[in-house]
Structure 1
Amino acid sequence: MDCFFPPGKENCPVGSSEVKSESAASLQPQTSVTSLPTGSPGPKRSGTTGNTLKKWLTSPVRRLSHGKGDNTNAKKPNNKQRKRDGRKSVELGPAHQDSTEERGRRGVNSGGEEEAEDEPHTPLPPPMEIIKDPSAQEEKTPEPGSFPVLGSVTPSDQMPRDPETEQKNKAMRGRMFVLNEMVQTERDYVKDLGVIVEGFMGRIGEKGVPEDMAGKDKIVFGNIHQIYDWHKEFFLCELEKCLQDHDRLAELFIKHERRLHMYVIYCQNKPRSEFVVAEYDAFFEEVQQEVNSRLSISDYLIKPIQRITKYQLLLKDFLKYSTKAGLDCKETEKAVELMSLVPKQCNDMMNLGRLQGYEGKLTAQGKLLQQDTFFVTEQDSGVLSRSKERRVFLFEQIVIFSELLRKGSSTPGYQFKKSIKVSYLSMEEHVDSDPCKFVLSCRGSSERLTLQAANIDIKKEWVQSIRELLDMQINFLTALQNPQEYQKKESGGSLSRQLSNSSRSSSSHPSTPLKPNTAPNGSPTHKPNKHVEEELDEGECNGLSLVLVTQDYNAVKEDEICVVVGEKVQILASNQQNMCLVYRPANSQSPAAEGWVPGHVLSSTQ
């Protein structure tokens, strides 16, 4: 050993083996350390022993011992200082030994990574509980010194609100959303109508149409120009005003019910329009390219039908939110009912537009009240025919029977078979003890038509509608024949109420106000410019008499006719809206015509 170490170096450690042996010794089993006396230093181990133990250490412990060795090499005390502090280090041995052993154990468990020693830190908050009732948790006040749960802290400006108020506010927001959607879609709708009128119609007017198509272009577009002008110049502006006053919406639809019947006329013409477009599809495709339209003309022509249906859906949503908000919904309910009937009438008119073979003017037959499919059995002079399927249309003035064509098709057609005017119609409500059957016949004819409905509900609806028409007709004829007796019998009954309502509804027209038609003693009085209602009460006209036109009138709807002052017309019927169905004989200036005119433009011929 003397040849390897120079003098004075015997006590110097070789490398860090001695330090590593001390670290390794501290990782020996507890019994080997505690068995040593606490008052004497532990035995020194040579480098050979340290090297031997080093071979058996696992890699995590080796890294731990290397770390310890690095800390020891940071400052090496001399031999004398180690001897002088030997007793003190031995006394601290057990604590150092425990901590080192614990660190070694943690090093092994953590995959060999050295962990930092535990440092003092702030106390942890108490464990949080699962919140089962958030509302109850928000009401709790945190105890002093406790850590509040983040979700339970409520700012002073977000205090819990009343559920009823919150629901009302939500309903009002939904109401406003529906109204905004209606206005925005109305703007888009007007733009689409503009493409048809200013684009397609304008280009066709400049370009012209093929010779064999002359006159058919009017069938294609129908009254869509009238619809476009009204929506662009009036209805869109009125809808935009509803954004500031929501209560105007329902009133707007109710007030312009008559104007919305433009769509009924449009839908009646739609089947013929489709036929012409399909016949000249190449021509319309060429026009589409010239106006740079991404949609075909058929896509645009269906827009009015889609729009009149959209009003109904939006109004139903508006009513739903208004009800949830606790608002008065009587006017809105009335508007919804109205806009539910208009699409139905449009659908009825589209079916009616597919009726072929009828030579009369359907628009002059009043409103279409009912339409349905029946199995009809004809009986003439005691001879029964086989039951046949028929599509039956009930108007205010006529009943039309037709045969179904293209059965099962999405666009069925109907071939006219026969008709009965309501003025000659009679009905038997019960037939053969069958709850689904009733009989219609024409007075003065032996022909009887037995109609079998699909169910009893359809039969009840038809019987009720026909009964109301017949009762109205009887009242009308009675008033014509003997108005004074009729008034005494009814004592201000239904006809007087109808005339009163009609006078109120026509008050907006520039006409002479109604005056009492009888003097206090009951004798009739004669006033200039008398209304039709006064004529009926005075009994000076009958179903065949002529009345004088006192004011010019231009037709608004297609079922109306234009009349001028001085013309004489024949009154055929009247309705509750103070409209009269008249026949105008042919004269030197205009052909014969039949249609509706307001009652206030007529007076009796003396």
Structure 2
Amino acid sequence: PDKLLHTEEAYIKRLHLLDQVFCTKLTESGIPQDVITGIFSNISSIYCFHDKFLLPELKTRITGEWDSNPRIGDILQKLAPFMKMYGEYVKNFDRAMDLVNTWNQRSSQFKSVVQNIQKQDVCGNLTLQHHMLEPVQRIPRYEMLLKDYLKKLPDEALDRKDAEKALELISTAANHSNAAIRKMEKMHKLLEVYERLGGEEDIVNPANELIKEGLIKKMSAKNGTAQDRYLYLFNNMVLYCVPKLRLMGQKFSVRERIDIAGMEVQENVKHNLPFTFAIIGKQRSLELQAR
């Protein structure tokens, strides 16, 4: 139960950040209301439900009444009708991501408000998109916490029946969330890459899928020396990057974006060296050595 309470408190801070900080500041800065709704969907209702209802109930029960009434199943069952709110949020998520990307590029006002908030400690070096994932990931988290709780619960415990019922209700909603999460985990990966590249490349797009990434050596055609480089292989392109020596923020700079369409790969281009290959693309050709 303590874990449930701690994660709930942390989650509410994220909801507060989304609703009371990002959403409020963007509204105040004059971003059109339909865009705000398109991005934040029903986050206000979700925040209100957790802040005014679920957290206070859990807190009272876990910190105040646990000795006389050790159960949480009855409270979590009440969560079930509110799962519809989450369904709505999850369904809107792709569109919300697209809107954030579009407005980041289109509006300097939007971009600067978002960047200013992202610089604050409360954001923990994470982007708006990163925080927007939280509500989607929360329902499967309840499912996990409940399963864990039930495992440790004695068979004859008073709470077993309620907790099992709550799990059943939450699992149904978690399935919807999980399908969306799988889609979003791909987006999440893309976001991480986007951040590592310092926002240089517009890669956050559901059509892009990260397949593999890793360090590589670039063979110099002139003198045969090798330099450290980094490759990102997507379903539709290769990003050829140079490492940046920074502790925070941008890790790589993109030197070349090579389309997969029309690209050729030749193996063992340098017979005297192991694991060498060449990428021959429309934009550029490279001789590389895997580590």
Query: TM-score range, shorter-chain basis?
Result: 0.5 to 0.7
Residue of structure 2 aligned with 1:261, choices 84, 99, 124: 84
* 2:107 maps to 1:288: no
Q: Deviation of residue 310 (structure 1)?
A: 0.9
Between the aligned partners of 1:350 and 1:222, the Cα distance in structure 2 is 17
Greater C-alpha Rg: 1
Compared with structure 1, are the counterparts of its residues 261 and 351 closer, same or farther at alpha carbon in structure 2 (3 Å cutoff)? farther
Distance 1:230 1:409, change over 3 A: same
Which residue in the other structure is 1:252 paired with?
75
Matched, 1:227 2:46: yes
Return the alpha-carbon distance in structure 1 between the equivalents of residues 208 and 115 of structure 2: 36
C-alpha distance 349-264 of structure 1, shift in aligned 2 (>3 A): farther
- Residue 338 of structure 1, aligned match among 169, 175, 194: 169
Distance 2:10 2:181 in 1: 25
Matches within 5 A, 1:15-164: none
User: What is the CA distance between 1:349 and its match in structure 2?
Assistant: 6.6
Counterpart for residue 199 of structure 1: 21
Distance 1:347 1:272 in 2: 17
The one-letter code matched in structure 2 to 1:288 is V
* Matching residue of 2:150: 319
The structure that is helix-richer by fraction is: 2
CA displacement at 1:256 relative to structure 2: 3.3
Superposition deviation, residue 346 in structure 1: 2.9
Q: Identity of paired residues, percent?
A: 28
Match in the other structure for 2:2? 180
Change (3 A) 1:332 1:198: same
Q: Which residue of 2 aligns with 1:190?
A: 12
1:274 has 2:105 as partner? no
Residues 199 and 214 (structure 1 numbering): CA distance in 2 closer, same or farther, change over 3 Å? closer
* Whole-angstrom CA distance in 2 between matches of 1:288 and 1:407: 24
Q: 1:297 to 1:406 in 2, by over 3 A?
A: closer
Indicate how the Cα distance of structure 1 residues 350 and 188 shifts in structure 2: closer, same or farther if over 3 A, else same.
Answer: closer
Is the Cα–Cα contact under 8 Å of residues 27 and 33 in structure 2 kept in the other structure? no
Whether contact under 8 Å (2:80, 2:166) holds in the other structure is no
Which amino acid in 1 is paired with 2:16?
G
Q: CA 1:214 to 1:238, structure 2 compared with 1: closer, same or farther past 3 Å?
A: closer
Structure 2: how far apart are the matches of 1:304 and 1:274? 14
Which amino acid in 2 is paired with 1:286? S
Match among 267, 286, 300 for residue 131 of structure 2: 300
Deviations 1:332-370 (A, max 9, x none): 111112211111123457899xxxxxxxxxxxxxxxxxx
Secondary structure of the residue aligned to 1:261 is helix
Instruction: Give the SS at the match of 1:251.
Output: helix
Letter of the 1:314 partner, please give it.
Answer: L
Which whole-Å deviations, capped at 9, do the CAs of 1:170-205 have from their partners, x for residues lacking one?
xxxxxxxxx111111111111111111111111112
Secondary structure of 1:280 counterpart: helix
CA distance in 1, matches of 2:92, 2:207: 19
Match of 2:140 in 1: 309
Q: How many residues align?
A: 178
Q: Taking structure 1 as reference, are residues 265 and 198 closer, same or farther at Cα in structure 2, changes over 3 Å only?
A: same
Please report how far the alpha carbon of residue 288 of structure 1 lies from its aligned counterpart in structure 2 after TM superposition.
2.8
- In 1, Cα distance between the equivalents of 2:33 and 2:79? 35
Q: Provide closer, same or farther for how the CA distance between residues 302 and 290 of structure 1 changes in structure 2, counting only shifts above 3 A.
A: same
> Aligned partners of 1:229 and 1:345: how far apart in 2?
22
Are residues 248 and 340 of structure 1, via their aligned partners in 2, closer, same or farther at CA, if it must alter by over 3 Å? same
1: CA distance, partners of 2:33 / 2:20: 20
Deviations 1:521-552 (A, max 9, x none): xxxxxxxxxxxxxxxxxxxxxxxxxxxxxxxx
Aligned 8 A contact 1:264 1:349 in 2: no
Helix, strand or coil for the counterpart of 2:154? Answer: helix
Name the counterpart of 2:236. Answer: none
1:289 positional shift: 3.3
Aligned residues of 1:269 and 1:350 also touching (Cα < 8 A)? no
Matched AA of 2:141? K
- The amino acid across from 1:222 in the alignment is S
Aligned mates of 1:261, 1:351 — CA distance in 2: 19
Structural RMSD (CA): 3.0
Change (3 A) 1:307 1:289: same
> Which residues of structure 1 form unaligned runs of 5+?
1-178, 353-404, 411-606
Deviation digits for residues 413-447 of structure 1, max 9, x if unmatched? xxxxxxxxxxxxxxxxxxxxxxxxxxxxxxxxxxx
The CA distance in 2 between the partners of 1:269 and 1:350, in whole Å, is: 13
**Relative to structure 1, is the Cα distance of residues 225 and 280 closer, same or farther in structure 2, using a 3 angstrom cutoff?**
same
Q: Is the 8 A contact 1:222 1:266 kept in 2?
A: yes
1:323 counterpart letter in structure 2:
P
**SS at 2:157's partner residue?**
coil
Structure 2 distance, partners of 1:303, 1:256, is 17
Are 2:147 and 2:167, in contact at CA under 8 Å, matched by a contact in 1? yes
Which residue number in structure 1 is paired with residue 264 of structure 2? Answer: none
Q: Is the partner of 2:54 in helix, strand or coil?
A: helix
2:59 corresponds in structure 1 to 240
With over 3 angstroms needed to count, the CA separation of the structure-2 counterparts of 1:255 and 1:195, relative to structure 1, is: closer
With normalisation by structure 1, the TM-score equals 0.27
Q: Is the 8 A contact 2:76 2:163 kept in 1?
A: no
Alignment of 1:501-512 (within 5 A): none
Deviation (angstroms), 1:323 = 3.1
Structure 2: which 5+ residue stretches go unaligned?
A: 184-205, 212-291
Q: Report how far residue 307 of structure 1 moved.
A: 1.3
